[in-house]
Amino acid sequence: MTLTELWCDRCGAEASVPHEACASARALEPPRYCAHCRRRMKVQVVPAGWSAVCVEHGEIRG
């Protein structure tokens, strides 16, 4: 987690508390919330990977 990641990208809760279940689930799932602003992202999963788009912070891929 960097200083700008204030929110958990899986459940949307504060990132200052440990999220062991979220961390283990993120090995298999794309993020659902923007870690910077807590907005729900538009996620698309394809056989080659995934992309998640925040209207404020743009796209990330995995």
Average pLDDT, the chain: 88
Position 1 scores a pLDDT of 44
* Strands, sheet with 49-54, edge to edge from the N-terminal-most edge strand: 42-46, 49-54, 58-61
Position 42 scores a pLDDT of 96
Q: How far apart are alpha carbons 13 and 29 in whole angstroms?
A: 17
The domain tally of the chain equals 1
b or e along 13-50 (b: 16 or more beta carbons within 10 Å of the residue's beta carbon)? Answer: eebeeebeebeeebeeebbbbbbeebeebeeeeeeeee
pTM of the model: 0.81
Residue-range definition of the domain harbouring residue 13 = 1-62
What mean pLDDT comes out for the span 19-29? 87
Length reported for the chain: 62
Q: How far apart are alpha carbons 19 and 35 in whole angstroms?
A: 13
